[in-house]
Structure 1
């Protein structure tokens, strides 16, 4: 959960870097859309776009690089008087671009992760039609527009609220669509780990969808639209619902906390770092899986998502003293600073010893074992959600982390780090890996394209 690296606060992540490396260049970003009054929600007489007022900017649709958004976001506006939305409601993430949305954006307040399996008899043609429908729906919803005659109206009063919808393919998708020869080697199944307690019913899947938004109703609205469009082509295999701290809940942007109360995400690679793209995104040639032949060029600009449902044994964790919790992690709970001193962004001194001669940061501390310098430089961009599904059959909270990690190659990102954690992480007795999945997430669609078109139509 916490992989240490050179530190920078989250407000130096994409949230405060509108021009961060890997985002679309200005010439690639979507231009202003039709005036809001030209589109009406069927049966409702009003579109979501008509409700997207922005104080002092009526009549113009423009691009802004907001301090609260890591990618280009649209300042949604209206050409007629209306109630102005808050900054949270009006923030918009473009659907088109070099990378799919939902990777570089700051963590959203609400998330839904869903895996689908193609129905019996469905193949490449049906999959292409489904991805075409899904892309059309995602583009409209991310712009704050209703999906058409079947729109439920759940999010009618809200703006886009930084909605993102991200699509990926599981390893099984390629066999079901006759595309086995196009499956990247990076998508080989993850190895087994000794601490795994995986539920096959909540793991893997042909297709994977990640939905995130800063408003719960906007996220649910997108979830229902995606599920409805899948009818007849794919059925839900599993669904997980998560949350994070809401934007503006703290005095200033800061690294989030997980349900153990720990600052979680300090060591994420930053777009400002020269090797960020190489760690997170597949290069133009399609990555190592292409074998130099261009067979996987459809993955250019994409990334691989490792998804793990990690239950936190909170009753056991909360019995530990504060000092013991900090020893397990290797960081102070109050501010995330390493036990060797400084602030959250201070590099931990792994060689420092205490008065007793022992390392201040224990040999099995989570932050030491997971540090990139302890794993051959392995790193990944973690963008998780917390979850709470009530009380489990064991009478303890069924709560924890929906771990989502992005990398150019999971064999060089997630796998080596998890192998090392599996061998002796002090945090292991307090967590349980209960579900797992690995998905190939292609690059963002160009104007006029749907997600996955370069795979399904080449």
Structure 2
């Protein structure tokens, strides 16, 4: 977890500041109607199409009037919703992100409500040609599903009534991929294995992998549908190495756009680089002149499964929790005062002469100006995978950060955290991976084509 915030983008995936995802102005692309009915009622809310009053009707009404309902307004909203007449899909489900572009989707788009992270290893005997065929299949499926269409073959109908729901599917290559495909000479130096950190308790079976896939959507069924389609497309070319499932607050659940909270209850992600920053591209994406050439406009993703020791954390007083982080829990403002976006005064002292923001506070240690300007774009999911035998929650953060060079982004910050972060005694790094994520595919291309056919 680092001292950065999630960028906001418009519903088409283009970055903008201080915006929330808006309902689309046109109906979402409908799935093929051959052999099936056209989209009608709620899928995003999980309500049966035969329900008298559906969540989609509620959201459609809200989208049409510009109303965003919170918990206090839910009853009124349902009472006001029409009970019979179906309305077009004008809610979150209509939001669509383009598969094609300068960068792959799922990097600068806002955090999504549901996510799946997967890593695959190529099957024994599979090489470059099998990998190319797999990426070609995956790219074709991703393009269709992100447009709100059915999978190209053997569609499961899981998301038959839903729109695209801001679905994004992102692909990357691990360090081992290049030796398995005979492409060692094309392996980027930035993909060298991460160093060991003292806070690591890594499970190697849930770390790294030849291929990495990130799936995100604002609807759980849409995300699961994509997960199944990707797994089925794999065929015999690769086997699943690990899978992790995560979630975030649903867009529109708050009355105004806010930085996300993590499972510790803390606002998590203040000071994230913003697309409007003049140096955003150079910090997050590999330039045209980057080495190797196939990584132009790509980025590097560090993925960490960070377990939160919630039972220990929740024993702390509010004051102690805030001193560990260096920010107020209520609104994310620095302990020195102001609002969430107020610049933290690292020199301010209390009446007794002690620093208001302790030297070991997480927010102090992770500030870019305390790390030689190191910056990374955080885009994480929370996770909860049940409880251990003694009732301890297996929960925490699926930490994902993006940068042009992890040796200048993630590594220096994590080394400083290793040396004295007060938060370290309440978290445990249990899995890790580093992946090269090439630039976006042009129309007619598949992701990684410049590497695999170059």
- Which bracket does the TM-score occupy, shorter chain normalised? 0.7 to 0.9
Distance 2:429 2:318 in 1: 24
Q: Deviations over 1:12-62 (max 9, x none)?
A: 7335997648xxxxxxxxxx999859x445xx334669999x99xxxxxxx
Instruction: Measure, in 2, the Cα distance between the counterparts of 1:49 and 1:184.
Output: 48
1:251 aligns with 2:255: yes
**Number of equivalences:** 410
| Residue of structure 2 in register with 1:299 after alignment | 295
CA distance in 2, matches of 1:448, 1:281: 23
* Counterpart Cα distance in 2 of 1:35 and 1:114: 27
Who is 1:160 aligned against?
Answer: 164
User: Secondary structure at the residue paired with 1:437?
Assistant: strand
Note closer, same or farther for the CA distance 1:302–1:35 as it changes in structure 2 (3 Å cut). Answer: closer
Are 2:9 and 1:14 aligned?
A: yes
- Determine the structure 1 residue equivalent to 2:210: 206
Q: SS in structure 2 opposite 1:14?
A: coil
TM-score by length of structure 2 reads 0.86
User: How far apart, CA to CA, are the structure 2 residues paired with 1:189 and 1:309?
Assistant: 17
Q: Closer, same or farther in 2 for the Cα pair 1:144/1:18, shift >3 Å?
A: closer
With over 3 angstroms needed to count, the CA separation of the structure-2 counterparts of 1:48 and 1:84, relative to structure 1, is closer
Contact 2:15–2:108, Cα closer than 8 Å, also in 1: no
Q: Deviations over 1:146-205 (max 9, x none)?
A: 013400000001100000000000000000000000000000000000110000000000
The answer as to 2:352 corresponding to 1:348 is: no
Q: Does 1:440 align with 2:445?
A: no
Match of 1:100 in 2: 104
Per the TM alignment, residue 86 of structure 1 is displaced from its structure 2 partner at its CA by: 3.6
Aligned residues of 1:366 and 1:426 also touching (Cα < 8 A): yes
In structure 2, how many angstroms separate the alpha carbons of the residues matched to 1:132 and 1:226?
Answer: 12
**Relative to structure 1, is the Cα distance of residues 36 and 382 closer, same or farther in structure 2, using a 3 angstrom cutoff?**
closer
Cα distance, 1:326–1:15 mapped onto 2, change above 3 Å: farther
Instruction: Give distance in 1, aligned partners of 2:289 and 2:41.
Output: 42
Offset, 1:412: 0.2
Per the TM alignment, residue 271 of structure 1 is displaced from its structure 2 partner at its CA by: 0.8
Contact 2:13-2:98 within 8 A present in 1 as well: no
Aligned to 2:81: none
Q: Distance in 2 between matches of 1:149 and 1:385?
A: 30
Q: Note if contact 1:3-1:379 (Cα within 8 Å) is conserved in structure 2.
A: no
Q: CA RMSD in A?
A: 2.7
Match of 1:320 in 2: 316
Q: 2:45 matched to 1:45?
A: no
Q: Is the 8 A contact 1:14 1:271 kept in 2?
A: no
Tell me the distance in 1 between the aligned counterparts of 2:12 and 2:367: 24
**Does the 8 Å CA contact 2:11/2:166 hold for their aligned counterparts?**
no
CA distance in 2, matches of 1:397, 1:18: 34
SS of 1:367's equivalent in the other structure is: helix
Partner residue of 1:224 out of 218, 222, 228? 228
Deviation, structure 1 residue 83: 4.0
Structure 1 gap ranges (5+): 22-31, 56-65, 69-80, 291-295
Partner Cα separation in structure 2 for residue 19 and residue 94 of structure 1: 10
The TM-score normalised by the length of structure 1 is 0.85
Q: CA–CA distance in 2 between the matches of 1:228 and 1:436?
A: 25
Q: 1:392 aligns with which of 376, 388, 393?
A: 388
The C-alpha deviation readout for 1:96-154, integer Å capped at 9, x for no partner, is: 00000000100000000000000000000000000000000000000000013400000
Distance 2:306 2:29 in 1: 45
Query: Which 4+ runs in 1 deviate beyond 6 A?
Result: 32-35, 47-52
Q: Tell me the SS of whatever aligns to 1:92.
A: coil
Q: Say whether the 8 Å CA contact 2:28–2:93 is kept in structure 1.
A: no
